[in-house]
Amino acid sequence: MPFSFVHYLQNKRIVLASGSQRRQEILSKLGLSFDVVPSKFPENLDKSNYTPFEYVIENATEKGLEVYGRLVQEDQEVDIVIAADTIVSIDGNILEKPKDTEDALRILKKLNGRSHQVYTGIALIYPLTEPVHPGYNIITFLEETEVIFRECSEEDFKVYVETGEPMDKAGAYGYQGLGSFFVEKINGCYYNVVGLPSKVFKELEKLVKDKEI
């Protein structure tokens, strides 16, 4: 266990407000122990009211608050909730998970041979030590990574869509899987493209050092 703050957090209840296997794998790599409580937030925000980075921050915040509030109502102990939302954006338009195979193919063709942005919004929610309304604090931040797709054929995309891999991925591709075939280059945090940027660990370390949790 290379980081002292990780050792400290072993005695804390960390809750990941996401059912994403990829996010769970990233947290596990650091050696953190955590519980998985997927958020029930419907993610029905009107995209037209937000910029891409505002949208992911708001989604992550709402996801985290839903889980935190539910645990508090159930009188469950929680030291910190980690919530995340990841989207792909191109030309200022938000691309989330495809609705069906036709939508997945449409998205991939839109990304073909071009640069796009992957945004992940993070919300860290933890109880205050003093009984002050609303009883918790929220830290939010954003990570942006540029991804450049190489030129691919429509047949390549069709074969990929048939694997089923893109159907639960923002932007209709998984960089950690077969989707990496389409990627020529990334500029920025690799883990952000997967769904949980490494900055999460820096923020957790800061909270521990500042004795916030």
Query: Which H helix or E strand runs over 69?
Result: helix 52-73
The C-alpha atoms of residue 169 and residue 11 are separated, in whole angstroms, by: 33
E strand or H helix that includes residue 36? strand 35-36
Tell me the two tokens of residue 193: 């493209």
The active-site residue out of 35, 85, 91, 103 is 85
Backbone phi, psi, residue 143, to 5°: -125, 135
| Count of CA atoms in the C-beta half-sphere (13 A) of 163 | 14
Structure tokens at 58: 């708001």
Dist. CA 174–CA 193, nearest whole Å? 8
**Helix/strand/coil percentages in the chain, nearest 5:** 40, 25, 35
Judge contact between 123 and 140, C-beta under 8 A: yes
Known catalytic membership, residue 156: no
Q: Name the residues annotated as catalytic.
A: 85
